[in-house]
Amino acid sequence: MRRVLVALLLVAGCASPAWNDADYGKKAGATAEAAASSVALVRLAVESEAKLTRPYLQTLLTETATALDSVDSQFGAVQPPSRRAAEVRAEITELTSEAAEQVQVLLNEVRLREIRDPERAAADLGDLADRLRAFAEEHPS
């Protein structure tokens, strides 16, 4: 599990300067892909909730929330080189914030014993992963 999360963090790369819009877009795309992978992992776990132990699910959600925060922080450290890049930043930040929030809600539910509506949660996560992947395709890294 940790290897998956470490790999996701490496995909996002280190926070380095973006020299132009193309470079910034690549960094945003890598961030979206890393977040999409995290969201997809959580979706699989939610779909398999009945087969997983609560401690395992809680650990997976905690580590995924940490990974999403890290990916978001690394990208947040890169300053947009233009107004267009600032728009890209706002778009990806909105998506990664939504991902972090959904994972945190699920984590809170698991801590309180169970995910209230796993089917709905899986559908929402699938939609979010699709939107993150679409963003990544628009901004290939």
What is the number of domains present in the chain?
A: 1
101 assigned to some structural domain: yes
- pLDDT for 124-140, tens place per residue? 999 999 999 999 999 99
Residue-averaged pLDDT of the chain: 90
When pLDDT is averaged across residues 106-117 and rounded to a whole number, the result is 94
When pLDDT is averaged across residues 49-55 and rounded to a whole number, the result is 94
19 assigned to some structural domain: no
Q: Indicate the pLDDT class of residue 2, thresholds 50, 70 and 90.
A: low
**Distance, CA of 3 to CA of 74 (rounded, Å):** 19
17 assigned to some structural domain: no
120 assigned to some structural domain: yes
DSSP 8-state symbol, 53? -
Q: Indicate the pLDDT class of residue 10, thresholds 50, 70 and 90.
A: very low
Q: In the predicted model, is pLDDT for residue 58 greater than 80? A: yes
When pLDDT is averaged across residues 53-60 and rounded to a whole number, the result is 96
**Distance, CA of 6 to CA of 112 (rounded, Å):** 28
pLDDT at 18: 79
**Distance, CA of 135 to CA of 141 (rounded, Å):** 11
CB-side neighbour CA atoms (13 Å) of 132: 27
32 assigned to some structural domain: no
**Distance, CA of 77 to CA of 118 (rounded, Å):** 34
64 assigned to some structural domain: yes
**Distance, CA of 35 to CA of 60 (rounded, Å):** 15
| DSSP-based three-state secondary structure for 48 | coil
Q: In the predicted model, is pLDDT for residue 4 greater than 70? A: no
108 assigned to some structural domain: yes
Is residue 31 within 8 A of residue 96, CB to CB? The reply is yes
Q: What is the pTM of this model?
A: 0.85
Handedness of CA 48, 124, 65, 30 (dihedral sign): positive
pLDDT at 25: 96
Identify the residue whose tokens are 């778009």.
Answer: 91
Q: Indicate the pLDDT class of residue 17, thresholds 50, 70 and 90.
A: confident
Residue 131's domain comprises 2-10+38-138
Q: What value, to the nearest 5°, has the Cα angle with vertex 99 and ends 94 and 102? A: 120
123 assigned to some structural domain: yes
